[in-house]
Amino acid sequence: MKDVVGVARTTCRPGREATRGFVRCTPRPGTIKRAMYCLLLLRSPDNKLSVPSLMEDETDEEEDDMIDVEMARTARRAVEQVLALRPGEKVLIITDTGRPVTIARALASAVHAAGAEVVVATMITRETHGVEPPDVIAEAMKVVDAVIMPTSYALTHTDAVRNALKCGTRFCNFREINEDMMVCGAVAADYHQVREIATALAHRMNEANIARITTPAGTDISMSLAGRTSLVLAGFAQQPGQYGGLPSGEAAIAPVERTAKGIMVDPFSMDGIGVIRGPFHLQVENGKVQKVSGGLEAVKLRGVFDRNDENAANIAEFAIGANPAARITGVINEDKRRIGTVHIAVGDNMTLGGRVRSNIHYDILFFDPTVQLDDETVVESGKLVI
């Protein structure tokens, strides 16, 4: 039990013993019972196990700690389904000071139970999406078999991730995930079904030359996809150099640079900005956002563009959601997976196979879109028609 207790919550009290720079703490009452239950759940073949009566005498504070148990199923899914970890593999979990420690702990427990070697690295929360992690973490990414990232902001579009992918590292992205998202919604989807939907969409993207996206609010934007290959993001990263994550479910592609044109009007939300509550208009020409107008959120976006490099306004991505279980939560990392939604990103597109490097990558999410790929309608008013 020694190793299990090492990843469970502890409470330090007066008289704690300092040993070689580390603090040895007494496990909080109920910690060992909770760890035993988590291991039973992780090893349960059907992933179903009722809470045993031995947990019923926990205090209110300890009952709150039972979130570890509720998150165990998703942690197990990350280990067994997304990454297909094997005993003896080396795994790095990257988190930050803005994420609940319970999530990293649940993931570490699952990795340990699978027989893999786990290291948890906590960094100071990055300023926004696409900001490089510390050098020591970037180097560590390249020498492990797999990386799990429960971080506040996405590291997907960073050189650190791209370099590690070239070294064969597998990735499971958990960006922006909270305890509720670890238990409910998109993470609970049938990911074999999600993969089928995303693959069908990706196939149509690969065959198309032009994509056109319209919405009832007035969005009307088109872009070239000619020669580009779409990515199926469906929660699987089982081979060296693959990238997946939870929640997942989309087909994504980098449009040809300098081809996007049109207008984006009143999206639901945007990375780095949040839910859009006021008027919000983006005029696009030559593959870039040329004009931003509207209310408070538009002012915030102009500030983002002003503070970053000249490629921050590049139209970097077009993607269609493919997860039937995704909810609308206000957290874009789940919202954009909802089947029939569309998100269009600005900034960096290198990870998606494009040619533009930027300090940022921000998704812009639209509900009830209609999507035409050449002459074929694949989404109509938010409903897949393929």
Q: What is the pLDDT of residues 284-293, one digit of tens each?
A: 999 999 999 9
Cα 325 from Cα 130, distance rounded (Å): 27
pLDDT, residue 34, reads 53
How many CB atoms are closer than 10 A to CB 72?
A: 26
User: Minimal CA–CA distance to 74: which of 152, 171, 191?
Assistant: 191
Classify burial at 275, counting beta carbons within 10 Å of its beta carbon; exposed 0-12, middle 13-18, buried 19 or more.
middle
Which amino acid would we find at residue 268?
Answer: F
Show the tokens assigned to 60.
Answer: 């209110």
Q: What is the pLDDT of residue 41?
A: 55
Check: CB of residue 329 under 8 Å from CB of residue 310: no
Residue 155's contacts (CB-CB under 8 Å, 6 or more residues apart) are 94, 126, 130, 132, 133, 149, 161, 173, 175
- pLDDT score, position 21: 33
Handedness of CA 157, 213, 323, 368 (dihedral sign): positive
Please state, in angstroms and rounded to a whole number, the distance separating the CA atoms of residues 336 and 186: 10
Residue in the structure block whose two tokens are 């000071």: 97
Give the domains, in start order, of the chain with CATH numbers. Answer: 2-183 (3.40.50), 189-384 (no CATH)
Residue 60: alpha-carbon gap to chain centroid: 32
pLDDT at 68: 83
Phi-psi region of 330 (alpha: psi -120 to 50; beta: other; left: phi over 0): left
Query: What pLDDT is recorded for position 3?
Result: 33
Would the pTM count as exceeding 0.85? no
Please provide the DSSP assignment of 51-110 as one string: PPGGGTT--HHHHHTTHHHHHHHHHHHIIIIIS---TT-EEEEEEETTS-HHHHHHHHHH
Parallel, antiparallel, or unpaired: how do β-strands 261-265 and 117-123 relate? unpaired
Q: What is the pLDDT of residue 40?
A: 56
* Regions in the chain scoring below 50 on pLDDT: 1-29, 31, 50-61, 63
